[in-house]
Amino acid sequence: MLAPAIGRIQTLLGQVVRAVTADRGYGEAKIDQELLDLGVRTVVIPRKGKPSAARREVEHGRGFRRLVKWRTGSEGRISYLKRRYGFDRTLFDTLAGAQTWCGLGILAHNTVKIATLVQASGPRPTPSTRPRRPRPARSSAPDAAATVRSGARRRRGRCRGPGRGHPVTSPAACKPI
């Protein structure tokens, strides 16, 4: 089932597919061999069941893991498109209608992405237009904050050590495990 689909893609594109990745449901040696016979250089399909030591070595290789992560990421993107842009169903009846629905979903997604990028790269405030923070008035009497600043700094936040959760006021109050 997978090899004929890859064969159709190669015929359509006129090129040999360099890499194929799929989920564990296709994980059989026979399918790997069919894909290699089609000229696919890299086949990344985890095997069903417990892998042998040799197969485990292959599946833990850098290239194998990289392509599995790529497939996982693309599945996440497809899931997002289904949830956010209506890719889980089409409201048109024919194949041409489904293609139109898909194209409109991609257009909507790309428009949102471009708007986000344009907004993020908008003009930054220059020093003359940046609003200034008011500075606190200085007094001649020393206050508690000045004494803390002059001495050892107090550690703020929560303890991550044995008690976990009590406020920390000094490094000596909490000793990590």
32-56 per-position pLDDT tens digit: 999 999 999 999 999 888 889 998 9
Q: How far apart are CA 109 and CA 79, in angstroms?
A: 13
Flag whether pLDDT at 106 surpasses 70: yes
Residue 133 has pLDDT above 90, yes or no: no
SS3 content of the chain, % helix, strand, coil (to 5): 50, 5, 45
Higher pLDDT, 65 or 92: 65
Express as a percent the part of the chain with pLDDT over 70: 72
Predicted pLDDT at 162:
52
Using the predicted structure, report yes or no on whether residue 177 has a pLDDT greater than 50. Answer: no
How far, rounded to the nearest angstrom, does the alpha carbon of residue 99 sit from its chain's CA centroid? 27
Q: What is the pLDDT of residue 37?
A: 93
What mean pLDDT value characterizes the chain? Answer: 79
Four-residue CA torsion sign, 97, 102, 108, 110: negative
pTM comes to: 0.53
**Lowest-confidence range among 27-31, 137-141, 159-163?**
159-163
Q: Would you state the torsion angle of the CA atoms of residues 62, 68, 70, 72, taken in this order, to the nearest 10 degrees?
A: -150
Average pLDDT over residues 67-95: 87
CA 58 distance to own-chain centroid = 24
